[in-house]
Amino acid sequence: MSTSSLPSYVAPPAFPRTPSYSAEPQAFEQRLALNRPARRPSGNFVKQAKNVGLRLFAQEDNATLPTYGCGAAVEGEVSLSKTDGVTAVEVKIEGSLRLREVAEGGTTTYKLCLTRVPLWSKETDSDPCPASLQFSLTLPTTFSDGRETYPLPPTHDVHLSGVPGFNANIEYAVSATMVRNKATALLRLGGGVVSTPLIYYPRSRPAVPLPSPMRQSFDTFRFIETPEWRSWESTMKARISGAKDISCQLFLPAARVYCINQHIPFHVTFSSSAFSLAAFLPYGPTATILAPNKVFTRIRVLRQSIVDVRNAMVLGTKTDIWRVDTIGEAEFKHSGDGPDLLCFNGQIRLDPQVRIGGFKAGGLVVKDFIEFTMIPPDPPKAPFAEMRLVVPIRLTTDPWSVDSLMPAITEPSTPEESI
C-alpha cells in the first residue's frame, strides 16, 4: 500500500499557558458532584488481656465498641507481652444469628461468617515470633443458610416476652489467640486470648431525595398530584343515619425509602359531606376542646420482627412468631378546608434509638410499615367504623446524596404478609 496518499497531520496549537484549576469552586463556578470517600477515623480501639493485646485501627475516639460497615476491612495489631515459647498466633472474626423460641424450647443458630488467619506459626516461619503482628481481614457482604443467600445482617437484638415468645440475636466478634508450648506453660507464662464484640452497621441511602411539599389548589384546597408523590386510599364507613362514608387519602413520597435521621413528610385528605366531616372532627388527627389530650386518628411507623425457629407448617400456616413496635409518630397540621374536604399535612418523627433498617436473614425478618388509622374510643357508639391503612416502606441509615458512594436502596416490594 502506498503512503503517498495518507493525509498530513496539523501540529497542535500552542497555548501561552496551561489552564489553572482549584479544588474548590470559584465564585463564578458550580460544583455538580464530588465523589469523595468518607472520612476515615483516626482513633484506635484497644482491648488488653493478660498476655496478649488487640488494637483495632480506624475507630472513632472513645468508641465503646469497634464499628464497621459493609465489606469493611478489619485492620489492627496483636501485641504479645512475652514471646518466649510462642508456637502460633492467629486472629479470627466470627458472626452468628441465634433464634430461640420460648414456648417450644427450639433453638436455631446460623453461622454468618468465620474468618481465621494465622499471623505467625513456628511450623512455617523461621524467624522468631515478633512482639507485634499486624493484620487486615475483610468482612463478607453475604451469607447463606444453605437454602438462600442474604446480605450480611446488621448487629441486632430483639425479643418477645411471654409464651409463645422468642429471642433473636445477631452478634459479631474479633479475637486474637496466642499459643505457647508446654514447657513455658509450666513456668506459668501460658497462652492468651483477647476478644471483643464488634458492631456491624451496613450503611445505605435512598436512590432519590425527598420531594418538595405538595401544593394545594386555590379554589378546592385539594392537593395537586405529581409523580414524586403517591397516594393510598381507604374508607371510613359511616354508622349513623344521614352520614356518608369518608374517603381517606394518604400521600407519601413515591419512593417509600426514607432515612432514619430525616422526618418523613405526608399529606392527608378526608372527603365526604359537610355533615359527615363535622361528625368526624372529634375523632380527627388534631386535639379538640372536648378531648384536648386524646387523638384518635394517627400515623405511625411500625416495625414487625418475625422469627421462624422451626420452619414448620401447621394446617398450611407458617409457625411464625412476631412482635410489632412503634418506632415513629406523626405530627399533624391543619392545611385547609373545602366544602367537602378536610386537609392536613405533617411529618413523621422516627425514634432516635433506631439505628438500622429492615432486613431478612435466615429465620429472622424485620419489616417496616407506615400505618394510618382511626380507632374510636367506644366503637359501638362511634359515628364511623375503625379505619386502617398500611403501607410498606424501607429505612436507610443515611440521607440521599448526589455524590455518595454507598449503596442506593430502591422502592420496596409489597410484603407477602402485612402486619
Q: How many CB atoms lie within 10 A of CB 379?
A: 11
* Burial of residue 328 (number of CB atoms within 10 Å: 0-12, 13-18, 19+): buried
205 close to 73: Cβ distance less than 8 angstroms: no
Strands 341-350 and 321-338: antiparallel
For the chain, the distance separating the N- and C-terminal CA atoms, rounded to the nearest angstrom, is: 78
**pLDDT tens for each residue of 123-164:** 999 899 999 999 999 999 999 988 899 999 999 999 988 777
* CA proximity to 178, closest of 58, 285, 89, 249: 89
Q: Three-state SS for 268?
A: strand
- What CA–CA distances, in Å, run from 31 to 28, 34, 207, 402, 403? 10, 7, 20, 11, 11
Continuous segment of H or E residues that includes residue 305: strand 297-307
Amino acid at 304: Q
* Burial of residue 34 (number of CB atoms within 10 Å: 0-12, 13-18, 19+): exposed
356 close to 335: Cβ distance less than 8 angstroms: no
The pLDDT, as a whole number, for residue 119 is 97
Q: Which residues in the chain come in under a pLDDT of 50?
A: 313-316, 413-418
The pLDDT, as a whole number, for residue 314 is 41
The pLDDT, as a whole number, for residue 316 is 45
* CA proximity to 331, closest of 354, 350, 352, 357: 350
* CA proximity to 394, closest of 346, 362, 352, 356: 356
Instruction: Quote the pTM value.
Output: 0.84
* CA proximity to 136, closest of 91, 179, 94: 91
The pLDDT, as a whole number, for residue 414 is 47
229-396 has the same fold as 43-200: yes
* Burial of residue 207 (number of CB atoms within 10 Å: 0-12, 13-18, 19+): middle
110 close to 169: Cβ distance less than 8 angstroms: no
Q: How many CB atoms lie within 10 A of CB 295?
A: 15
User: What's the topology of domain 229-396?
Assistant: Immunoglobulin-like (2.60.40)
The pLDDT, as a whole number, for residue 367 is 96
The pLDDT, as a whole number, for residue 98 is 94
The pLDDT, as a whole number, for residue 85 is 86
DSSP letters for 205-244 = EESSPPPPPPPB-TTT--B---TTEEEEEEEE-B-STT--
Q: Three-state SS for 94?
A: strand
Cα 401 → chain centroid: 16
**pLDDT tens for each residue of 40-94:** 888 999 999 988 999 999 999 999 999 999 999 999 999 999 888 899 999 999 9
341 close to 270: Cβ distance less than 8 angstroms: yes
Residue 206 to residue 213: CA distance in whole angstroms: 18
The pLDDT, as a whole number, for residue 176 is 96
∠ CA 323-329-335 to the nearest 5 degrees?
145
- φ, ψ of residue 7 to 5 degrees: the values are -70, 150
Q: How many CB atoms lie within 10 A of CB 406?
A: 16
Residue 229 to residue 252: CA distance in whole angstroms: 6
The pLDDT, as a whole number, for residue 313 is 44
DSSP letters for 148-216 = -EEEPPPSEEEEE-SSS-EEEEEEEEEEEEEEE-HHHHHTT---EEEEEEEEE----EESSPPPPPPPB
Locate the domains of the chain by residue range: 43-200, 229-396
Under CATH, which number does the domain 43-200 receive? 2.60.40.640
* CA proximity to 62, closest of 44, 38, 39, 40: 44
Task: Name all contacts of 225-234 with Cβ < 8 Å and 24+ positions apart.
Answer: 225/251, 227/254, 228/253, 228/254, 229/253, 229/254, 229/267, 230/254, 230/256, 232/372, 232/389, 232/391, 233/389, 234/372, 234/387, 234/388, 234/389
